[in-house]
Amino acid sequence: MVDVAIIGVGQTPFGTHPDKGLKELFFDAFYEAVDDVQKGFDPKLIQEAYIATLETGGGQLGNMAALMMENVGIPYVAARRVENACGSSSFAFRDAYLAIKSGTLNFVLVAGVEKMNDLPRERNRLWLGVSGDNEWERLAGTNFPGIFALMANRHMYEHGTKREHLAMVAVKNHYNAARNEKAQLRFEITIEKALNAPMIAYPLTLFDCCPTTDAATTVILCRSDLAKNFTDIPIYVWGSGAATDFLAIHDREDITRLKAVELASKKAYEEAGVKPSDIDLAELHDCFTIAEIIEYEACGFAPDGKGWKLLEDGTTTIKGKLPVNTSGGLKAKGHPIGATGTGQIYEIVHQLRGDIKEKERQVRDAHIGLTVNMGGSGGTAAAHILSNERR
C-alpha cells in the first residue's frame, strides 16, 4: 500500500455558462490543473481518468469520459464515467485514490463536469429527482426541497432548531462566497432577508436552497513518493470513507440523522488516525441549510441534535474554531452536481497550501481538512481527509 498526494487542481468559475458546453468547461478546468502543478506536468503521464457527471439532459451519456479526454488531447487514456448523484466526483476521487494506494497506478485524473442551465426548469427538476427514490418519493410528487423540508421540520421539532439557525448557515456561506471570485452567488445577505425570502417548502426559503450551476473541477493525484518531483507543496490524502443509506427517507430509522455521512466520516477518521477535534476546516454538503447543520452532528463536531449551537457561538464562521464552507459551499458557491465533490477538494487544497487569493477567506495555520459530499438526500456519502503534512 502506498500513500497518495494531490499535485494539481483546477476549477472553472461556478455559475451560468451559455457560451460553453461540457467539453469547453472540462478543457478549462483540466488545463488549469495541469498549469497548477508547480514544477510542470506532462498530461500524457496520466494513466487513467475518473470523470464524474450526472449529465443533466443526457447529452452524451455513453462514452462521455472518452469524449472529455480526446477533447484535451489525450485520447488513449483509460477513462470512465462515474455517476453517484450529487456525490459523483467524491466517489470518483475515492476510486482513483484506491487505485493509486493499491500500487496499480501512479498518476490519475479525477474530474467532475456538469451543464445544468441549458435545460428548462421542469427538465432540471426531472434530472435532479432521479437521484432520489423514484417509486415512493419522486413519482408520488415530492422533490428534494420537500424531502429536506421534512428533515428540517423534524429536526426543529425534536431538537429545538429554529428557522434563524437555518438562516445563519445561509448568511455565513454567502459571506464567504462574496469573497470567492469563482463562486456563483457573490453577495452577502442578512438573517432578515433569508427569513423573509419566498417560501420554497416550509421551513426552507429561497435562501435555504442551493442554485443550479454549470462548472467543471479537476484534481491530479499521484503516488506520494513521486509528488516532490512535481511540487514543493503536495497535499496528502490521509483518509477516505464512503457509505450508503436507505434512499427513501421513510425507510430510515431517524430522518434527523445522515447515517451515510456518519459512517463515511468515521471510516475516513479511522484511516487518517484523527478525531473530529483534529479537523481545522471542512467543506460540507449544504445543498439545503438543514443539511449542513445535520452534518455537523454526523461528522462528530456536535452532539446529536445540537448542531445549531455551532452557529450560535460562531464556531463555523471564517474566523471561528472550525470554519465550514469557506468557499461559500453548495449554498452560495454553487452546486454543479457531478463537479461538486472535486470542487470541495479544490477549496481544501488551496486552503492547506495557504494560497487562497482572497486573503479574507484564508484560514490561518490549517493543516487538516475534511470534505463531505452526499448523493441525493444522503443515500450516498463520501468523506476525505487531506493534509499539508506527510504522515
β-pair partners for 380: 244, 375
Identical fold at 4-119+213-235 and 132-212+238-387?
A: yes
Give the model's pLDDT for residue 57. Answer: 61
Are 256 and 160 spatial neighbours (Cβ–Cβ below 8 Å)? no
Please say whether the beta carbons of 191 and 209 come within 8 A: no
With H, G, I as helix, E, B as strand and everything else as coil, classify residue 79: strand
8 A C-beta contact, residue 86 and residue 339:
no
Tell how many helices (H) and how many strands (E) occur in the chain.
13, 11
Instruction: Find, among 48, 52, 46, 76, the residue nearest to 64 by Cα.
Output: 52
Backbone angles phi, psi at 355, to 5 degrees: -120, 30
Quickly name the fold that domain 4-119+213-235 has: Peroxisomal Thiolase; Chain A, domain 1 (3.40.47)
Q: Rounded to whole angstroms, how far apart are CA atoms 200 and 198?
A: 6
Q: Looking up cell 513521486, which residue turns up?
A: 226
Cα gap 370→391, rounded to integer Å: 16
Q: Is the pLDDT of residue 124 over 70?
A: no
Is residue 384 among the annotated active site residues?
no
pLDDT digits (tens, 9 = 90+) for 56-109: 666 767 789 999 999 999 999 999 999 999 999 999 999 999 999 999 999 999
335 is catalytic: yes
Give the relative orientation of helices 163-177 and 289-298 as an angle to the nearest 10 degrees. 100
Residue by residue, DSSP assigns 30-55 as: HHHHHHHSTT---GGG--EEEEE---
Catalytic residue among 86, 209, 210, 287: 86
CA dist list (Å): 127 to 56, 166, 290: 6, 26, 22
Cβ–Cβ < 8 Å for 81, 369: no
- H runs (alpha helix) in the chain: 22-36, 64-71, 88-101, 121-129, 144-159, 163-177, 191-195, 224-227, 259-272, 289-298, 308-312, 329-332, 340-353
- Are 304 and 296 in contact by the 8 Å Cβ rule? The answer is no
Q: Output 133 or 229, whichever has higher pLDDT.
A: 229
Length of the chain (residues): 391
Which pLDDT score is estimated for 125? Answer: 64
318-376 pLDDT, tens digit per residue, is 999 999 999 999 999 999 999 999 999 999 999 999 999 999 999 999 999 999 999 99
- pLDDT per position as a tens digit, 267-303: 999 999 999 999 999 999 999 999 999 999 999 999 9
Catalytic residue, chosen from 155, 174, 285, 335, is 335
CATH T-level topology, domain 132-212+238-387: Peroxisomal Thiolase; Chain A, domain 1 (3.40.47)
Average pLDDT, the chain: 95
Span 200-209, pLDDT tens digits? 999 999 999 9
Where are the domains positioned within the chain? 4-119+213-235, 132-212+238-387
pLDDT band, very low/low/confident/very high, at 42 (cuts 50, 70, 90):
very high
DSSP line for 92-159: HHHHHHHHHHTTS-SEEEEEEEE--TTS-HHHHHHHHHTTS-IIIIITTT--HHHHHHHHHHHHHHHH
Closest CA to 284 of 238, 316, 324, 342: 324
Which is nearest to 55 in space by CA: 183, 211, 216? 216
